[in-house]
Structure 1
């Protein structure tokens, strides 16, 4: 979420006005360089060499001589910074600077090495993106904005590149070895928060948030230390240092010592930016500083026309699937990836809805894994970012906080419009957490959804007046989760060592206990409350529409208490709804981080999709 001052105004200034537009534009499915607008207002998806990215063309009337290549961080930092990069790229495009953001092989929407038929080499990927941006923009010179691990990659990959201009290093990774140690600690904290047991955690070097670096990448990172650079990676460099990180400041001094013209400033708000994808805050001051710095390094000029035309989002073939990065909706406002079988017509289509503010690749790239697995079985899918999430810009006059807002049903409708041009319905909607809520409520709003797979929905109905922001910040764990955690030896060790805030933990346990007790009492009145009427009314409507609903909950998930409140601890309350089924996933966290939990989810979606009809037993 963008801060309510400079950042919020900045985001709103880039909002898409859909008030006078209707329908989606099929021409946006296949995009040619010669056919895109050059007003700096709309970005476009691109694909090349098994990689995927977003190209922001420059505004023509103020076009600058340089373009900007974003070289991304890795893992959790990348998830949290996705929207930050988009906002910065939008601002630059409006000031006449074209840019490209891209995913490394084995990350985001890019192919895995096995699908690309080559080993992962993120330096080569960066060089390929650099050359591709020069072709797209027509600019002979390219500046670099790198963050985190991207700084270590850019400094190696582009030092000798022809046309490489100034570089900005944001929160730079200097020592690869130290970075991997720090990443392991960060990963452990995330896993602690998810309640993962030691045996459920990824142990590979460079693994974090359910993502693993492709083979060979971590080894290459480990062997690199930018403190040993002997040649300047660029003449002019901006370093945004994290407060309190001596290594960042020392790196800036080293760059100056080897001949770089260095400007150093604080990366204000860095910790808030990378706290989590859901709670991430963008510093308007940092965005403004970067825009001003980029403009100070270039000048107005009409780049030479390359004379070539390029299909920006050409479909790419992997092992058993074909993927195409697409944009759709009014004015091409929504960004996603359409994935289909490579050798046959799809038997059905699935709409994959994102959780919270995660990019459409999903936590641990679960949506990518899901889409490609489905395609190999003959099922097409669309994964996309809803408005004001990751790559999709906000909609004018829509709230900044989009989660659990009815406006997201418009995004679902636009996605169904797109799927309707590629195949026949009814379609399946699948999602986790807030994505599960959106799938459930999307089916209520749109008859084109014939089946819903909802994983760990926190609620089925959002109570009027309940603040989403407060709920996201203060949501306690379930009683079952606290009970499970206190049976783990690691929790006792952390309690004894003082790593656990005893007072805070005790208060949260008390809240969870009181919630469980009040739930048992309140069940007597559940149908009479405003929320109860809405919940049962929703299930009644889906039953009347013969919409199949498959609920999946991780055992001890907080959302399970909401379900049990209305349908009893053993789910007996579902007896009145034969179109609804319930599956409890054992030993799973809220995000389905483990391979076993992911498999249950994927197999459930695959089974329903291959049936091409509601599950057996639906009325």
Structure 2
């Protein structure tokens, strides 16, 4: 197991309290990549790594990193109170890229908020080229846009946006009030800059804000080339449907190669790189694991003795940082309680390479379960205590299946598992279409004026509602008669298999904690196979219900409940 193998998605690095990935290449020019923020960054994270790999293949070393207070970098988002903190990160990153690779020419590239900072900082960090992708709106208009986006998404998922100390909360990603105020005051200097580097602007069709930025670049003295960011909308779609804009990335590579980016540098440095982050309360480092060490994870350990280690599994297509950065937050708070963790990206997710020959579906697969067992192989020799697994949604399913197959697993905390076992008659598409709300929630909503309005106005088509509800009703009916039909029906065979799995867990003494949002559809799955009192008869198992949250467990109190469930489960292991 090595910490710095060659990987398509780069070598994990850390510097000045931020985490990132270095994609080394032989060219004279390097590219400093400034990412968008929050939910957009999480959505495009894998594609952002693909852009870095694309540029590295063209001969351009790339450094992509997480802003302070975001993703794997140190700090809590609400503790970041000034935009200057991010500006300092840009300065440090530019120095790091130059000193670790030996490049003598620098391109600064950014998207969203990162694009604005790329423009602003290009002169100070002495950039030789500038690439601006779908820039955010400047000043108050940009903050209003974030706020409006937050309200729209919150309404769709029925989640609260109020978080103490936050001025902006987009799907659990927050900006502090002082930081948002600073961002609202942000305005690009439109006076001519001596030696302004040539700039490529990837502009979204029919976006007035992008036209304004083009004019600002010209006013600053940049020689501006404008290309269409044709695939932007499909790129920033939800992670499961996000399409990497390969043709747009080729435009960037072609532009930089045209500026001499492929010329080889005279010196090539090979410094010792580290991915370690070590604040007082914990220690983190990246570990590559699995076949050919193509999988990525972050090991987080306490400063004292480790009581146990929990592997945190991807939820759906979320990267290892977790929805609303919950895996990072939980990992570091667990370390403060003396518990180690290993937050991982399974094959084809986040910052892990795709398995050779793999294509199509990445979750609810045997490959994902094998990846979890590979993670156990990686951390078992570290002797950090009993091994646990935890995940949400598809990650919960994968954790349960991996735990059932691996005797090293001593406990599992499964959150909002929509499936406890896969029905061979159900396609992946049907599973996704069935939604994440419980039948009880649909019954409650059926009595609401809001649902009636949505049906009457065709905002929610009757067929869509029926497609989500009907399988749940039929599944419960089938489960009711399964004890009488036994192995003669599919549901009977599935129920028997699950009961055998539960008996196996109990025989091994594996502690099982199932955590559900009050209205989560996973509760229907649990009732379908285990009845209205699922933990009765299973002394090793516990079910916890969390109110006031939804399937993603976005609310801070819901994430705290997951943290407590893991901590309490670890405590049971020492009894």
Q: Would you say 1:426 and 2:386 are equivalent positions? A: yes
**1:42-90 per-position Cα deviation (integer Å, ceiling 9, x unaligned):** 62100111100011111xxxx2211111100001110111011111112
Unaligned runs of 5+ in 2: none
2:122 to 150, 153, 158: 158
Say whether 1:385 aligns with 2:345: yes
Q: Secondary structure at the match of 1:416?
A: helix
Structure 2 match to 1:80: 43
Give the structure 1 partner of residue 248 of structure 2. 286
Once residues 147 and 546 of structure 1 are traced to their aligned partners in structure 2, the CA distance between those partners, rounded to angstroms, is: 50
For residue 195 of structure 1, the aligned residue among 128, 133, 158 is 158
Q: Deviations over 1:293-342 (max 9, x none)?
A: 232222434334476733322x2222411111232223331122111112
Q: Decide whether aligned partners of structure 1 residues 66 and 611 sit closer, same or farther in structure 2, where only a CA change above 3 A counts.
A: same
| Kept in 1: contact 2:393–2:415 (CA 8 A) | yes
2:53 to 78, 90, 95: 90
1-structure distance, mates of 2:289, 2:282? 21
2-side partners of 1:92 and 1:500: how far apart?
Answer: 51
Change (3 A) 1:77 1:116: closer
Q: What is the correspondence of 1:466-615 to structure 2 with a 5 Å cutoff?
A: 466-469=426-429, 471-472=431-432, 475=435, 477-484=437-444, 491=450, 502=458, 504-526=460-482, 528=487, 529=490, 530-568=493-531, 570-571=532-533, 573-613=534-574
CA RMSD of aligned residues (A): 2.8
**1:404, CA displacement in angstroms?**
0.5
Q: How many residues align?
A: 567
User: What is residue 71 of structure 2 aligned with on the other side?
Assistant: 108
* Larger RCO (CA within 8 A; separation ≥ 6): 1
Structure 2 partner of 1:21: none
1:325 paired residue among 279, 286, 303: 286
Query: CA offset at residue 487 of structure 1?
Result: 7.1
Partner of 2:305: 345
Equivalent in the alignment of 1:11: none
Deviates more, 1:405-414 or 1:416-425: 416-425
Match of 2:13 among 46, 57, 67: 46
Distance in 1 of aligned mates of 2:227 and 2:190: 22
The structure 2 residue matched to 1:296, chosen from 258, 263, 271, is: 258
- How much does 1:268 deviate? 1.9
Tell me the alpha carbon deviations over residues 360-416 of structure 1, each in whole angstroms, 9 at most, x when there is no partner: 111111111111111111111111211111111101112332111100122112211
Name the stretch that deviates more: 543-552 or 573-582. 573-582
SS at the partner of 2:168? coil
Q: Partner residue of 1:216? A: 178
1:174–1:225 Cα contact (<8 Å) kept: no
**Contact 2:43 / 2:238 at 8 angstroms: preserved in 1?**
yes
Q: Distance in 1 between matches of 2:108 and 2:130?
A: 5
Q: Deviations over 1:120-167 (max 9, x none)?
A: 7111111111111111221021212211110112222232213x1211
User: Is 1:55 equivalent to 2:12 in the alignment?
Assistant: no
Which secondary structure state, in structure 2, belongs to the residue aligned with residue 564 of structure 1? Answer: helix
Instruction: Identify if the C-alpha distance between structure 1 residues 558 and 103 changes in structure 2 by more than 3 Å, giving closer, same or farther.
Output: same
**Does the aligned pair in 1 maintain the 2:345–2:352 contact within 8 Å?**
yes
For residues 211-231 of structure 1, the C-alpha deviation after alignment (integer angstroms, 9 at most, x for no partner) is: 112563322211113374643
Q: Is the 8 A contact 1:402 1:408 kept in 2?
A: yes
Once the two structures are overlaid, the 10-residue window that deviates more, 113-122 or 71-80, is 113-122
**Following the alignment from structure 1 to structure 2, what is the Cα–Cα distance between the partners of residues 545 and 167?**
59
State the distance in 2 between where 1:546 and 1:357 align: 31
Q: Say which of 329, 346, 362 aligns to 2:322.
A: 362
Determine the C-alpha separation between the residues in 2 that align with 1:552 and 1:131. 45
* Counterpart among 421, 426, 437 of residue 461 in structure 1: 421
Question: In the superposition, relative to structure 1, how do residues 69 and 474 fare at CA in structure 2: closer, same or farther (>3 Å)?
Answer: farther
Counterpart pick for 2:140 among 155, 174, 177: 177
The worse-fitting range, judged by mean Cα deviation, of 549-558 and 227-236 is 227-236
- 8 A contact 1:116–1:318 mirrored in 2: no
Q: What is the CA distance between 1:265 and its match in structure 2?
A: 1.9
Contact kept in structure 2, 1:127 and 1:158, CA below 8 Å:
no
Greater shift, 511-520 or 100-109, is seen at: 511-520
Contact 1:353 1:360 in 2 (8 A): yes
Give, in angstroms, the shift of residue 117 of structure 1. Answer: 11
The partner residue of 1:450 within 394, 406, 410 is: 410
1:147/1:589 CA distance change after superposition, 3 Å: same
| In 2: Cα distance, 1:464 partner to 1:229 partner | 64
Within-5 A mapping of 1:244-259: 244-259=206-221
- CA–CA separation in structure 2 for the residues paired with 1:191 and 1:324: 34
The one of 74, 87, 93 equivalent to 1:123 is 87
Decide whether aligned partners of structure 1 residues 337 and 204 sit closer, same or farther in structure 2, where only a CA change above 3 A counts.
Answer: same
1:262 partnered with 2:229: no
Preserved contact between residue 52 and residue 325 of structure 1 (Cα < 8 Å): no
Q: Distance in 2 between matches of 1:509 and 1:587?
A: 23
**Structure 1 residues 549 and 95: CA distance shift in structure 2, 3 A:** same
The residue matched to 1:576 in structure 2 has which SS? coil
Distance 2:441 2:569 in 1: 30
Inter-partner Cα distance in structure 2 for 1:291 and 1:421? 42
SS at match of 2:318: coil
The verdict on how the C-alpha distance between 1:534 and 1:264 changes in structure 2, with shifts beyond 3 A counting, is farther
TM-score when normalising by structure 1 = 0.85
